[in-house]
Amino acid sequence: MSFEKEKKDVVFWARLLNERGFVTARSGNVSLKVEDRKLLITSHDSYLGFLDTDEVLVTDLDANVLEGNAEPAVEKDLHTGIYKRLEGVNAVIHSHAPFATAFFHYFDTLESYSFESRFYLGEVRVIPQETPTVTDVEPVISALEDSAVVVLKNHGVVAVGESLKSAFGLMEVLEEQARVNLAVKAALISPLEKRGGPDPSQDRRPASGKKYRLLSREHCERLKQMVNQDTEVRELGRQHDMTCSLAVKNADTGHTVCFYYDRGKIVKMDHSENADFRISGREDILRKVFNRQIDPFVASTQGKVETAGDFAKMSRWYPVLVRTFKLWAEVPVEPFKG
């Protein structure tokens, strides 16, 4: 039997999904990419809580069975579509996580009640579903390009990662936050109800009007102006003594812009990569970050951008950065044309 170790890994995480209550009976499916054109996937109608290695099939990226005596999971097209499209994804988990499923049946916006959920989840996308299986994989995969975990309305959750462990972790954080949100709403003290809408600090819609070329001089001058004219940033910058340098690098072109902060105020800009904190990403990802299609913190924790620096300090300056990134979202960049 080939890929014996990897099959045991699939069995371990599949059974853990059942132990944690994320799947019951014959629901859910798991896959793991093992070679460039091969993957392991749980078989159709298998009970994940009692899964054995002979129920883990080897298929190609078109879901043709190469090893095994069963049919692949019914969501096979979703799994193979994800691997074909999303670079760096080696694992896919689809569960029927009950709290997340219940929450998004009634509500559209998940509040973040912990820093962990804010960092790892960001804004959770919800994809409408009209059938018992995913018949249109395109909107699901498109959503997964921006965030590694999405909700299928009335159907469950899909999480992806470089490993089954990382995908499982995202699902675990989402389920915990869904449970907390439901508890808050049950107690009739939901911040959503009190404010009459989602937290404005979570608003990802870029402002209308002029769009700038990513990290151009004009773009950076406007970012600097937005920060330096904002009273809240100045107050938070002084309060938290945010004095540091932050470099943003376009990994496709090598173009870098370094912002120098003095107690929250940007006092200088140049092209140095030798900064206290460094963010590097592909141009298409950076554009989505600046347009708030991807949360900047989630882009880091989910590995969409590479970061370096003393993150103990970064955590201390978190309130300043949250406000800064919100302001930067009001300076939209031109769409990616690559």
Looking at the domain assignment, is residue 206 inside a domain? no
Looking at the domain assignment, is residue 83 inside a domain? yes
Residue 47 CA to residue 60 CA, distance in Å, equals 23
Task: Calculate what percentage of the chain has a pLDDT beyond 70.
Answer: 93
24 and 89 together in one domain: yes
CA atoms within 13 A on the CB side of 93: 33
Is residue 90 very low, low, confident or very high in pLDDT (cuts 50, 70, 90)? very high
Average pLDDT, the chain: 90
186 and 60 together in one domain: yes
Structural domains counted in the chain? 2
Q: Which amino acid is at 153?
A: K
pTM: 0.76
- Cα→Cα distances 23→158, 178, 204, 286, Å: 12, 16, 32, 35
Looking at the domain assignment, is residue 204 inside a domain? no
pLDDT given at position 2: 86
Looking at the domain assignment, is residue 242 inside a domain? yes
Higher pLDDT, 207 or 44: 44
Residue 106 CA to residue 185 CA, distance in Å, equals 11
8 and 113 together in one domain: yes
Per-residue pLDDT at 189 exceeds 80: no
Domain end (from 195, 230, 262): 195
Set 6, 55, 75, 123: catalytic member: 75
**Known catalytic residue: 75?**
yes
Is residue 229 very low, low, confident or very high in pLDDT (cuts 50, 70, 90)? very high
CATH number at residue 252: 3.30.1050.10
Q: Which tens digit of pLDDT belongs to each residue from 5-14? A: 999 999 999 9
Q: What is the mean pLDDT of residues 220-228?
A: 95
Closest CA to 263 of 290, 234, 283, 288: 234
Per-residue pLDDT at 204 exceeds 60: no
Q: What is the mean pLDDT of residues 183-194?
A: 67
Q: Which amino acid is at 282?
A: R
pLDDT given at position 297: 84
9 and 144 together in one domain: yes
Q: Which tens digit of pLDDT belongs to each residue from 22-81? A: 999 999 999 999 988 999 999 998 999 999 999 999 999 999 999 999 999 999 999 999
pLDDT given at position 188: 65
Q: Tell me whether strands 277-281 and 244-250 are parallel, antiparallel or unpaired.
A: parallel
120 and 186 together in one domain: yes
pLDDT given at position 192: 47
Per-residue pLDDT at 100 exceeds 70: yes
Q: Which tens digit of pLDDT belongs to each residue from 251-282? A: 999 999 999 999 999 999 999 999 999 999 99
Beta bridge partners of 244: 261
Per-residue pLDDT at 117 exceeds 90: no
Q: What is the mean pLDDT of residues 81-110?
A: 95
177 and 36 together in one domain: yes
Q: Greatest CA span in the chain, whole angstroms? A: 66
Looking at the domain assignment, is residue 292 inside a domain? yes
DSSP conformation class of 56? E
pLDDT given at position 135: 83
11 and 136 together in one domain: yes
Q: Which amino acid is at 316?
A: R
Looking at the domain assignment, is residue 208 inside a domain? no
* Least confident stretch, 110-119, 174-183, 226-235: 110-119
Give me the domain span that covers residue 152: 4-195
Looking at the domain assignment, is residue 337 inside a domain? no
Distance, first Cα to last Cα, the chain: 43
Looking at the domain assignment, is residue 179 inside a domain? yes
